[in-house]
Every structure is written in structure tokens, then in C-alpha cells.
A and B are shown apart, each in its own frame.
Chain A
């Protein structure tokens, strides 16, 4: 798959800058674009149960976002260090950047020291193949630094909102650098409607890192990916296999769930598995264990878009996104939802 296949234009006025609940509406008061094999449907999020069947399984991510954006001080003045992936409490992969809206590249070198309060952080070495990310070592747990001074990672198009805005109905285990946002509109009310409709729930854990990576090379497949800690528990592996055996469909709530479940897939079925994964799901690899995806609208030229193409093919993604842009769907974590069923 070529990089050029993932390039498209979408107007900036389609960026969702404010969570719906801060616009005086319900969290679930967002639109839902449904892409089925025979075309697109326009709906509200509360219509979700209409597009699912009794016996379908929704798989959600239990990871909760942490205040991963740290204001730090270094040779180049006051900058941000956005935590990405935890290896140990004192060793993370992190992204130094000028500000929420200004990524870099930063003039940092191995051995550079950053300070935040009394804590000292040393940048060890560049992440191979992803030079905007660095291995960072702290003289105390990063979690305690984050708890003291961290805020939510956010980018130029939104403000930093209170942390509860970044949690979902399913957030249980802190660890994600950014919110796994697909489940945001699944409020208790929607969850009740889904359960009434005979839809089951299962969960995985995947602590997601900083935003979907912009593909820089000519082809998507050769792109470096950073690993993410994940766990697919036995009950979930069994629920997925049982759903398939009974003819039901497994719908991933978010791209993180696709990555976790596909990382646990083997030809004989989904297995209980945990570790680190940097599996890139793209059309070449395809999807094996998941039949559909509930997600948001993603930026051009990103690995998320390559993942979506694994479900829809690149033409399918183009068709869906042309429709979404024409109909004014909102992009990003506070925006509208997209249900894709193969």
C-alpha cells in the first residue's frame, strides 16, 4: 500500500474542538456514519443497536488515559515531554515537543537532561525509525511525576480538558498516553440499549501511545511502529471464538482493540496472550479475528487509516471519507463515530 493512497483533504472546520458534553449536549449526542458492504447509512450514535444483532460481541479497551503531557525544562527552554509507552516506571518512550501545536523536530541529543520540579529526566537514545520519539529515563517513577504536574496530551486543535473528559465507561486500568476514544459515546444509557438488543461485551487491555503515526516512507508496510503493552484475557479470547462459532460478529471498539485482538490471533482462533505488540494492521495483512470496527474519523496518511483500509480497502475508505466530509461529520477524539462492518 502506497503512502499516496492515504492522502486526502479534509477541511479544518470539521475538527471537533470541544467535547459534546462541554457544548451542553450528551456524550452520546454525536452522529454515526455506518459503512456496510452495500453502502453508507447516516444515523445518530443511539441508533447503534439497530446495526447490530443479538449474539454480536463488542470488545472494548479497559485502559484509562493518564496525564501524560509533562511540562519540562531543558537546554531549549520550557518544552513538553509527552509520555508514550511505559517499559518500566522509570523508563518510557516519550516525545519531546515545543508545545501542543508545535511538534518539532527538537534539537535534542543523547544524554540531554530535562527537569521538572525536583525530578531529573535523561534522554537516552532515539527510537529506531521514529526520530521524534526518545527513550527517557527518570530518577523516580514517571507516574508520580505525571500525577504531580502532568496534563492530558492534546494537540493544537483542542484545549486541555479535565482528565475525566478523557475517560470512558470502560476505563479501568491507567496507562494510556492518549485516550482510547472510540468508546467515549458509549454512555450507560447506550450500553443498556445494546445489552437489551442482545449484544455482548468483552474487554482487552492495550495502553495506547501518542497519536497515530504519520506514515513517512513510500510504502505503509515498511513503516516503523512503536510497541504497545497489551493483554487479551482468556475470557475475551473465548468470547471471541464462541461468537464466531455461533455466527455472531466481533466488533472492535477502537483501533486499539483491533491491534490487541489481531495480536492474539492464530489460525486456530484467538488465544489468551499478553506482552508488547507493534503489529501493523494493513490491507496486506488483513484482519482475521474482528468483523467490524467502531471508531472515529482519522487523519490522512496515518497508520490508523491503513488499519481502516484493512477492513474496507482503500477505495472503501475513500468512499466513506468522501461521504463523511460532504455530510460534515466531525473529526478527532471529540467528534462523530464511524461503524464499519465487513
Chain B
């Protein structure tokens, strides 16, 4: 059930824009949620840790638009259904951000020693859940001509030792994004992959336990990219794979 939503969806007029963000309790997800709330987006946010999510929502919420927060695991179909019901209550979904990701074991194991259950779990969260959310949210996304953002990583391309489990799940997600973009072209729904780049987040710390990562920028470094992406027509950018910290963000010709 929705928790800690101050205003239920029906207590206020339908918002003009609705975003659903997974993994919103910290790091990139929280920074993006805060930025969107400031621009008037009504938000559905989720993360696994209940207390941490509630605390994040307190910080995200200004005097602005309503936020529905529902703690849970995106690989759980029942949980996804609850998230989508909250968006349906507002009648639209403009922006779906599949940000929740599982890094797998920490420290990162070499692929030759990766355990099957770990692989399955990482794929469940990083690849299958984002695809399932798009499938389940499709009518809402079509109605809103929405944009789907799947958060990816340079590990999807790199072949970096230790990053095989996570990287392969993100490489699969990249192909999911690209294929969905092509399949949904006629519907007005855009799908992009976004690699936010290295950032000073808990996930990055988990990947490098015990190491000093203070030279990495905070996730706020990606705000200009989000401002740009959200200002483009979803169809114009659809199929793109963007690096949020790159020097150039290009609209595909």
C-alpha cells in the first residue's frame, strides 16, 4: 500500500506531468526525483529500504506536487502493479526511470566464479524488471507519449574484470532499450539508455569497497543532462544511448 503520501492522488487536480522513478531513495534516483519535483512533476517513487525511502521523500518534497512512495522490490510483480496503480490514478505516465539496479556480490567477483543465483538476481532486477515495467505501463506511456529511461553503465561495453555480471545485465538492458525504441516508434513512446558515468554513490562505493571515491562527482553532475533530455520530444531522442557526463548530447539525425 502507498505509504507516507501526504496527498492521495484524488485530493488534488490531475498533475500535468507524472514520473515514476525506481531506486529513488538515494544517489542518482533521489537527485533526479528532487529535480523533477521542483519542476512540478507528480512522482511515484520506490526503493527497497522503507525507512530510507521515507526519509528521502521528506527531503524531496517541497511545497510542490504530490509524491506517492511505495517501498518494495521491482522484481516483484505485485509491487510493480502497485506502482502502476498509483500512476493510473493520475491518468498518465510521462517519464519512467528504471534506475533501481543490483550490483551483485560486493566485492565484485570474477565472472568465472559468479554464482548462478547471483546472476539470476542481477538479471531479474537490472534487465527483466525494467522490461516488465515498460510492458505493464505501456497503455499509460502511450496515452502520455512518454519517455522511458533505462539507466545503464559503461560496464555494459567495457569487459572490465569483476564487472561481468552487472555489465552483462546492463548490456542486455541496452539491447532491450534499443529494440523497444524501434518497436514503439509508431506509438509516440520514446526509449533511451542513459549511462550516468562514475559518481560518488553508495553503489559505486559497493563496487570499490574500502577505496576512496571522493574524486568522483556527486550525482548532481547529471542535472544538466536531465534538463536537456526532458526538454526533447521523446520520439526525437528515442533509440539513443546517452552519456550524461559527455561533452556532447546529440539528437539523432
- A residues sitting closer than 8 Å to B (CB atoms) are 87-88, 91, 93, 110-111, 122, 124-129, 135, 137, 225-227, 263, 272-280
B231 within 8 A of A: yes
Q: Which of B18-44 contact A (CB under 8 A)?
A: 34-35, 38-40
B142 contacts partner chain A, Cβ-Cβ < 8 Å? no
Contacts of A279 in B (CB 8 A): 247-248
In angstroms, Cα B222 to Cα A127, docked, is 10
Which of A124, A125, A227, A272 sits near B228, CB closer than 8 Å? A227
B224 at interface by CB-CB < 8 Å: yes
Query: Are B253 and A135 touching (Cβ within 8 A)?
Result: no
Is the beta-carbon distance between B224 and A128 smaller than 8 angstroms?
yes
Interface of A is mostly: strand
> What are 27 A-B contacts defined by CB distance under 8 Å?
A88-B231, A91-B39, A91-B227, A91-B231, A93-B224, A111-B38, A111-B63, A125-B34, A125-B220, A126-B220, A127-B223, A128-B218, A128-B221, A128-B223, A128-B224, A129-B221, A227-B224, A227-B249, A263-B247, A273-B250, A275-B251, A276-B228, A277-B247, A278-B224, A279-B247, A279-B248, A280-B247
Contact A275 B248 (CB under 8 A): yes
Instruction: Flag whether B62 is at the interface (Cβ < 8 A).
Output: yes
B209 at the A interface (CB under 8 A): no
Partner of B38, one of A124, A127, A272, A273: A124
| Contact call A277/B38, Cβ cutoff below 8 A | no
Q: What's the least CB distance linking A48 to chain B, in Å? A: 31
Q: Does B217 contact A (CB under 8 A)?
A: yes
Task: Please report the total number of B residues contacting A with Cβ < 8 Å.
Answer: 23
CB-contacts of B132-171 with A (<8 A): none
Q: Other CB < 8 Å A-B pairs besides A124-B38, A128-B221, 14 of them?
A: A87-B227, A87-B230, A91-B231, A122-B38, A125-B38, A128-B217, A128-B224, A135-B38, A135-B223, A263-B247, A263-B248, A275-B249, A276-B228, A279-B248
CA distance A87 to B223 in the complex (A): 12
A272 touches B253 (CB 8 A): yes
Chain B residues with CB under 8 Å of chain A are: 34-35, 38-40, 62-63, 217-218, 220-221, 223-224, 227-228, 230-231, 247-251, 253
Looking at B223, B247, B250, the one whose CB has the most chain A CB atoms below 10 A away is: B247
Q: Is B227 a contact partner of A135 (Cβ separation < 8 A)?
A: yes
User: In angstroms, how far is the closest chain A Cβ from the Cβ of B229?
Assistant: 10
Residues on B with beta carbons closer than 8 Å to the beta carbon of A273: 248, 250, 253
Taking a contact as CB atoms under 8 Å apart, the answer to whether B227 and A278 are in contact is: no
A111 to chain B, nearest CB (A): 6
Chain B min CB distance to A274 (Å): 6
Given contacts A111-B62, A128-B220, A128-B224, contact A274 B251 (CB under 8 A): yes
Question: Chain B: which residue is nearest A264 at the CB level?
Answer: B248
Task: Write out the residue numbers on chain B whose beta carbons fall within 8 Å of the beta carbon of A225.
Answer: 247
Return B15 CB to nearest CB of chain A, in Å.
15
How many angstroms between the C-alpha atoms of A330 and B222 in the bound complex?
A: 39
Contact call B231/A226, Cβ cutoff below 8 A = no
| Residue among A111, A124, A129 facing the most chain B CB atoms (10 A cut-off) | A124
CB atoms of A226 and B224 under 8 A apart = yes
Name the B residues within 8 Å of A127 (CB-CB). 223-224
Inter-chain CA distance A87–B224, complex, in Å, is 9
Q: How far is the CA of A273 from the CA of B248 in the complex (A)?
A: 10
* Nearest B residue (CB) for A231: B251
Residues of chain B contacted by A227 (CB below 8 angstroms): 224, 228, 249
Chain A residues whose C-beta falls within 8 Å of the C-beta of B250 in the assembled complex = 273-275
Say yes or no: B248 contacts A87, CB within 8 Å: no
